[in-house]
Amino acid sequence: MANYLTFIATIGGIYALLALSLNLAWGTVGLVNLGLVGFFAVGAYASAIVTAIGVPVVGGIVVAMLAGVVAGVIVTFATLRLRDDYLAIVTLGFAEVVRIVALNERWLTNGADGISGIVTPLRQTLGGRGFDLFYLGLVTLIVVIVWFALRRLDLSPYGRALKSVREDQELAAFAGKDVMRLKFEAFALSAAIAGLAGALYAHFQSYVSPDHFQPLITIYVFLAVTAGGVGRPIGAVFGAYAVVAFMEATRFLADLPFLEPVQVAAMREILIGLSLALILLLKPTGLLPEKTPKATVQP
């Protein structure tokens, strides 16, 4: 049971990073990224591939973040000037392209079989149990650091400018803001965080395959951010852990005697949908809604 909880908490941390990434792009600057899982996959594969040829794990993580940024730049390059819904369409397509490329370019990704035997840092020294605890600590620490940095951004003049772009980008330009720069930077940073989450996932599971990067993950992260509170970093973190805990808890439905396994699977989806609807009915702005900072002379 303790092993299982450690596993859930680690996966929760990885979802928290994805939620922080989405909250920056969508919740703060208003860029709808329906292809979050694509950036997650790019990070996972990038780190898996470079660590296989001898790059240390830390280097792999850095490469994964850079790969996320490069992917983000490619995706936003053509669409950032267009209306926002185009970005949503293009990112959605991007994630599928990543998955299909991973499925077909066997020389790079080993196709549907996936990449196995990805380096798991310090596993030999710490043993299985020790590694799990170490990795949980590592992921949690990274979540705290990323949350802290994004919260700082959120409260800074930069965050204020990002939110003005989210609310009305035309008016933000008349307020003297460089709208293109703000969108571009925020999206790139958000993609880097998704890439980081991907690398952490790969080195935890030691195995990645195209099956791990289904569009449903993006939906779960949207759910996490919406339930937690759009536009507030701690809300995203909280929402992510809550969604993972909820999804895992509903697994135990399988023990109910009067349901077939197929019905259980369907029940889980229904429950997840219902609970989101319930949260949005009772607390439309999420469990930890965005706050408006108070006026103060000393920032």
Partner 1 sequence: MSALLGVRGITRSFYGVSALSGVDFEIEEGTLTGLIGPNGAGKSTLFNIVSGAFAPDRGNISFAGEDITGRAPRRIVERGLVRTFQLARGFPKLSVFQHLMLYGPHQPGEHLWSALSRGAAGRKREAELAERAFSIAKRLRLDHVIDNRVTHLSGGQKKLLEIGRALMAEPRMILLDEPMAGVNPTLTGEIAAHLSELHRSGITICLIEHDMALIRELCDPVIVMAEGKTLTEGSFAAVAADPRVQEAYLGRRH
Q: Which of 210, 51, 18, 36 has the alpha carbon at shortest distance from 118?
A: 51
What is the DSSP annotation of 135-183? HHHHHHHHHHHHHHHHHHHHHSHHHHHHHHHHH-HHHHHHTT--HHHHH
Question: Minimum CB separation from partner 1 for residue 253, in Å?
Answer: 38
Question: Minimum CB separation from partner 1 for residue 224, in Å?
Answer: 20
User: Is residue 149 close enough to count as binding partner 1 by CB under 8 A?
Assistant: yes
- Of 73, 93, 96, 177, the one binding partner 1 (CB under 8 A) is 177
- Of 85, 105, 113, 167, the one binding partner 1 (CB under 8 A) is 167
Question: Minimum CB separation from partner 1 for residue 163, in Å?
Answer: 6
Query: 101, 224 in Cβ contact below 8 A?
Result: no
- Of 1, 2, 54, 170, the one binding partner 1 (CB under 8 A) is 170
User: Is residue 293 close enough to count as binding partner 1 by CB under 8 A?
Assistant: yes
User: Is residue 281 close enough to count as binding partner 1 by CB under 8 A?
Assistant: no
Query: 195, 64 in Cβ contact below 8 A?
Result: yes
User: Is residue 82 close enough to count as binding partner 1 by CB under 8 A?
Assistant: no
The total number of residues written for the chain in this structure: 299
Distance CA 198, CA 48 (A): 10
Q: Which of 115, 99, 105, 103 has the alpha carbon at shortest distance from 53?
A: 115
133: Cα within 13 Å, side-chain hemisphere: 6
Give the β-pairing of 207-208 and 115-116.
antiparallel
Residues near 1 by beta carbon (within 8 Å), at least 6 away in sequence: none
Distance set, CA 194 to CA 40, 127, 271, 279 (Å): 5, 28, 27, 26
- Of 85, 178, 211, 269, the one binding partner 1 (CB under 8 A) is 178
Distance CA 66, CA 138 (A): 20
User: Is residue 84 close enough to count as binding partner 1 by CB under 8 A?
Assistant: no
| Site stretch for partner 1 (CB under 8 A), options 5-13, 51-59, 125-133, 150-158 | 150-158
User: Is residue 72 close enough to count as binding partner 1 by CB under 8 A?
Assistant: no
| Site stretch for partner 1 (CB under 8 A), options 152-160, 193-201, 205-213, 266-274 | 152-160
Give residue for tokens 């709208």: 179
User: Is residue 73 close enough to count as binding partner 1 by CB under 8 A?
Assistant: no
User: Is residue 284 close enough to count as binding partner 1 by CB under 8 A?
Assistant: no
Question: Minimum CB separation from partner 1 for residue 142, in Å?
Answer: 16
Considering beta carbons, is residue 182 or 202 the nearer one to partner 1?
A: 182
Distance CA 264, CA 66 (A): 40
What track of x and - describes contact with partner 1 for positions 186 through 205 (by CB under 8 A)?
A: ---x----------------
Residue 80 dihedral angles phi and psi, to the nearest 5° = -65, -25
User: Is residue 152 close enough to count as binding partner 1 by CB under 8 A?
Assistant: yes
| Site stretch for partner 1 (CB under 8 A), options 50-58, 89-97, 171-179, 266-274 | 171-179
- Of 1, 2, 53, 176, the one binding partner 1 (CB under 8 A) is 176
**Longest pairwise C-alpha distance within the chain:** 63
Which tokens in the block code for residue 24?
């920056």
User: What is the total count of residues that contact partner 1 (CB under 8 A)?
Assistant: 35
User: Is residue 164 close enough to count as binding partner 1 by CB under 8 A?
Assistant: yes
Distance CA 210, CA 257 (A): 34
Q: Which residues bind to partner 1, rule: CB under 8 A?
A: 149, 152-153, 156-161, 163-164, 167-168, 170-179, 185, 189, 231, 290, 292-299
